[in-house]
Chain A
Amino acid sequence: MFKKVLIANRGEIALRINRAAHELGVQTVAIFSEADRQSQHVRFADEAYCVGPGPVMRSYLNIPNIISAALISGADAIHPGYGFLAENARFAEIARDHGLVFIGPTPTVISSMGDKATARRLMAEAGVPTTPGSDIVASVDDARAVVEKIGYPVLLKATAGGGGKGMRAVYAADELETAFATAQAEAEASFKDGRMYVEKLIIQPRHIEVQVLGDEHGNVVHLGERDCSIQKPSHQKLIEEAPAPVLPEAVRERLHATAIAACRAVNYTNAGTLEFLVSGEQVYFMEMNTRIQVEHPVTEMVYGVDLVKEQIRIAAGEPLTVTQAELHPSGHAIEVRVNAEDPEHNFAPAAGTLGRVEFPGGPGVRVDTHVYGGATIPPYYDSMIAKIIAHGATREAAIARMERALSETRIEGVKTTIDFCRDVLRDPAFRAAGVGVEWLKTDFMPGRHAALPV
């Protein structure tokens, strides 16, 4: 096992990794920007280094300063968390070249899965079903040629994309040129990579993803699926649950088997997630995320496995602590993302200083957060300030528990997604389960807006 791990992240996930490391008896090194000096992830680490000013390019993406902090602190491994450098193969390679273990898959796997066009090709070769679409299209004319074959509607996607950036749905031929130009410009601005591909747009699909773990001894297991269909209009996830409700058993088993086959095909190691679109009985591979995900706690709650500890153990060369035969989901878990955002104004992020902050407790409730009363929310980073997770014996029990937990939660000083999510939990369509990824935007939000008092 490692002696000391540097956590190359901030916020709740840095704290989450800090907890896992300490429970394994591993010392921790935090990094922070000048804007995060008072953050809890700094306070609870064994040591901490400032790596740059607030803007991420100069701090949380500052590879030389982060690697140098790892070396001078005597760390033997780096956990990248999610976002920032988590899926940066170059960073994983540089860490390795400096004798540091990167807690994640190999740089080769990160780069082939991170390039979505390559990932689709590899998965198709491994027999994993993908949505009809193209390899890289060099121009809008090439894109048009592809669309003529597969038909509208289509999704234009940036091969380096993520978080809904560099992605546009196109329903008719006259929208294609503008959509291509704007999506490509967005991808270039966000990822410095404007390469695009085209994919058939599946109507009313659900977003269902499978959690996997692979070790260096050839063991691969899945930890079931999560339904992440409750997404903001920007396609960012807002509410996630495990297991996926109202899913035909045959589809569930196909998802699990497909995920295992995909991992074996690329010799996948560490934690990963395969994202699928599910429409009726049809299953389409979307992408693989080669990192821990924001919503991993819902899986932890139903399987009783600490995924972050498994990540650290795997990277240290240890075998998985569980076999597939031992893994059975128990009950149902739901996660609500509490973002410092204004749902009434297109989820505009809100920075500022928090006033009174009270989080829920009691049986079956978990809160992963880095904020506290009086904490400052800097303008540079993601707007998520907490994740509230509720577990119950059934989906109904988990929802009831989540409603109770959210009613206990108070966050003053910024607008948040709490009340919006409470309304989602009460919605009959959400209760009935199985809504698609567009439901929130096209059904729930217009209805809620009409019902709000003027």
Chain B
Amino acid sequence: MFDETIARRVRPLAEAFRDAALVRLTVHEDDFELEFRRAGGAAPVAAAPAAGETATGPANGSVPEVLTSDVVGIVRFMRPAAVEGQRLDGDRDLAFVEALGIRNPVRSRGSGTLSAVFVTDGQPVEYGQPLFAIER
């Protein structure tokens, strides 16, 4: 039973975490809670954090927030498309998810650094699918 849980639920998440530029990933499900933390702190993000942040490490605040899709649709990036490592000032539209002709905006919800882009422009996305990660 435990082996099956590892194989079916934990391993795919661990692989996703390994491949993504994240330092911490917390998963809550009904009967299930799991947290991954990257050893050594700094995530392999495209842009290295500023010297001061490196010294304090991610435990002191720079934990990426993952923006997920609330709808099923096609993700379309805003122009110019945001790129990994880019500094985001204030609340801005990063993309929208087009569903039944309606554009559902994906906002940065505040400033930060875009640490990961999980999707490509024009890709179909499902409910809960990670789109962007932002380090606050």
For the complex, give the distance between the alpha carbons of A318 and B129 in Å: 38
Q: Which residue of B lies closest to A71 (CB)?
A: B100
CA–CA, A49 and B1, complex, Å: 26
Q: In the complex, how many angstroms separate the beta carbon of A279 from the nearest chain B beta carbon?
A: 46
Task: Establish whether residues A69 and B72, one from each chain, have CB atoms under 8 Å apart when the complex forms.
Answer: yes
Chain B 77-134 residues near chain A, CB threshold 8 A: 99-100, 124, 126-129
What's the nearest-Cβ distance from chain A to residue B26, in Å? 15
Q: Are A65 and B29 in contact (CB under 8 A)?
A: no
A127 at interface by CB-CB < 8 Å: no
Tell me whether A68 is interfacial, beta carbon within 8 Å: yes
From known contacts A64-B99, A72-B72, A98-B100, infer whether A51 and B127 are also in contact, taking CB-CB under 8 Å. Answer: yes
Q: How large is the interface on B (under 10, 10 to 19, 20 to 34, 35 or more residues)?
A: 10 to 19
Residues in A with CB closer than 8 Å to B9 are: 38
Cross-chain contact A69 with B126 (CB below 8 angstroms): yes
* Interface presence of A67 (CB below 8 A): yes
- Can you list, as one digit per residue, whether each of A337-359 has a CB less than 8 Å from chain B (1) or not (0)? 00000000000000001010000
Q: Chain A CB within 10 Å — which of B4, B31, B126 has the most?
A: B126
* Nearest-Cβ distance from residue A359 to partner chain B, whole angstroms: 18
A54 touches B (CB below 8 Å): yes
Q: Judge if A233 is at the interface, Cβ distance under 8 Å.
A: no
* B71 within 8 A of partner (CB): yes
**Across-interface contacts of B128 in A (CB, < 8 A):** 34, 50, 53
B63 within 8 A of A: no
Given contacts A374-B1, A374-B4, contact A50 B31 (CB under 8 A): no
Question: A131 at the A/B interface (Cβ < 8 Å)?
Answer: no
Chain B residues, CB < 8 A from A53: 127-128
Given known contacts A49-B126, A52-B127, A68 and B30 CB-to-CB distance under 8 angstroms: no
Give the interface centre of A53, A65, A68 by most chain B CB atoms within 10 Å.
Answer: A68
B71 to chain A, nearest CB (A): 6
Residues on A with beta carbons closer than 8 Å to the beta carbon of B64? none
A122 within 8 A of B: no
Q: Are B71 and A64 in contact (CB under 8 A)?
A: yes
Are the C-beta atoms of B99 and A65 separated by less than 8 Å? yes
CB–CB A68/B129 < 8 A: no
Q: Does B22 contact A (CB under 8 A)?
A: no
CB under 8 Å from chain B, chain A span 38-69: 38, 49-54, 59, 64-69
CA A54 – CA B69 in complex, angstroms? 16
A98-B100, A376-B31 given as contacts; is B4 within 8 A of A68 (CB)? no
Given A50-B72, A64-B99, A69-B72, 12 more contacts at CB 8 Å? A35-B29, A49-B127, A50-B127, A53-B127, A53-B128, A64-B71, A65-B71, A69-B126, A72-B74, A72-B124, A374-B1, A379-B30
- Please list the residues of chain A having a beta carbon within 8 angstroms of any beta carbon in chain B: 34-35, 38, 49-54, 59, 64-69, 71-73, 98, 353, 355, 374, 376, 378-379
